Amino acid sequence: MTALLTIIVLLLVAIAIWQMTKIFELSQVGTENSQIANDKDNKINGYLMFGFLIFIYLLTIYSFWEWGDVLLGTPASKHGPEYDSLMHISMALIFFVQIVTQALLYFFAYKYRGQKGKKALFYADNDKLEFIWTIIPVIVLAGLILYGLFTWTSLMDIDEEEGDPIIIELYAQQFNWKARYAGADNVLGKANVRLIDINKNNVLGIDETDPYGQDDVVSQTELHLPVGRKIIFKMRSQDVLHSAYMPHFRAQMNCVPGMITQFSFTPTITTEEMRMDPGIAEKVQHINKIRAKRRANGDDNADPWEFDYVLLCNKICGPSHYNMQMKIVVETQEEFDAWMKEQDTFKKTIAAAE
């Protein structure tokens, strides 16, 4: 019964809508009701084109004004400024081209809007014009690619013989990082995922028989780096694709299961010094203001925050990817040596477990 009533009600509503549209149509008699755009319609669309141009320009300016401070601040590695100039030049070029081409696009859409009696000009081709708009992008892009390649070669400084580097392994797994220092001999012992033995605390699968591995030091919580020393990172992954991302040092490299990837940089600013950086100080202040408010409301994540460098994962590797991180401490060589002294070597860890 209810179903029948519902159907009847729906039917009546449909009839009412149909009747109302009929009345609306009748009331339109006498006004122009053509589907073909007239000069007035075209003019409105022409102005709307201009309106959209202004909208995207304003949106760009607003985005920079509102979120400009979340861009990466002072680079903390030797190659950082070089990397930043490549980024800035590329972005400046993109913005310049985008501002000019968008303005031309919408200006011409307005200028050549439809008008009664106006006919499009048939213009087959123009070799000179085509040459110009081909050769300019070719030169600019080739220059940019060459500049990028030179920068890349200069950044990928993984020569172990030069500059007295420290070799550190970054080991990625769902969802944490571990760091392995090569020890006094500065050579990492062989390691394989099959040799992982949790009972012996051999979390990285270091080969117990390899003499190079005996003095290796594994850190599961913090990555300590001495300032001014070249560091060569060797990345491994236990399970899926991860990416070691250290934004303050302008460093990122994928961690691929079954192979070792490399990256190197020289940290130039200690954690203590970076905390004094005006950009960082401002960020910390801003976050602590938010945290103070949370504290007042009794929410969690409300403790005052202090800046630390961080190693993040930059490949979406699973549900806890967002929190896959490790604190990085950049300190003086003396502080680094003192920290290293407190760490257990692999040999000691194994002996303790047995």
Counting contacts by CB under 5 A, is residue 324 touching Cu ion?
yes
Residue 283 or 321: the one with the smaller Cβ distance to Cu ion is: 321
Place of tokens 């903390």: 76
Query: Least distance to Cu ion from the beta carbon of 247, Å?
Result: 15
Q: Which residues pair with 253 in a beta bridge?
A: 244
Residue 206 or 324: the one with the smaller Cβ distance to Cu ion is: 324
In terms of phi and psi (left: phi > 0; alpha: psi -120 to 50; beta: otherwise), the region of 88 is alpha
Size of the site for Cu ion (CB under 5 A): 4
Residue 207 or 239: the one with the smaller Cβ distance to Cu ion is: 239
Per DSSP, 270 falls in state -
Please tell me whether residue 223 adopts helix, strand or coil conformation. strand
Query: Least distance to Cu ion from the beta carbon of 172, Å?
Result: 6
Residue 182 or 244: the one with the smaller Cβ distance to Cu ion is: 244
Dist CA 253 CA 263 (whole Å)? 7
The only residue of 217, 244, 311, 317 in contact with Cu ion, by rule CB under 5 A: 317
The closest alpha carbon to 243, from 321, 156, 142, 305, belongs to: 321
The only residue of 113, 230, 242, 250 in contact with Cu ion, by rule CB under 5 A: 242
The closest alpha carbon to 254, from 269, 271, 240, belongs to: 240
Residue 269 or 324: the one with the smaller Cβ distance to Cu ion is: 324
Query: Least distance to Cu ion from the beta carbon of 193, Å?
Result: 16
Counting contacts by CB under 5 A, is residue 253 touching Cu ion?
no
Name the one range near Cu ion by CB under 5 A: 34-42, 56-64, 208-216, 318-326: 318-326
CA-CA-CA-CA torsion for 193, 198, 201, 202, nearest 10 degrees? Answer: -10
Residue 217 or 255: the one with the smaller Cβ distance to Cu ion is: 255
Query: Least distance to Cu ion from the beta carbon of 252, Å?
Result: 12
166-173 and 231-237 strand pairing = parallel
| Residues with Cβ within 8 Å of residue 174, at least 6 apart in sequence | 238, 239, 240, 317, 318, 320, 324
Counting contacts by CB under 5 A, is residue 313 touching Cu ion?
yes
Angle in degrees, CA 344, 347, 353, rounded to 5: 85
Name the one range near Cu ion by CB under 5 A: 75-83, 156-164, 216-224, 241-249: 241-249
Residue 182 or 312: the one with the smaller Cβ distance to Cu ion is: 312
Query: Least distance to Cu ion from the beta carbon of 313, Å?
Result: 3
Residue ranges in contact with Cu ion by CB under 5 A = 242, 313, 317, 324
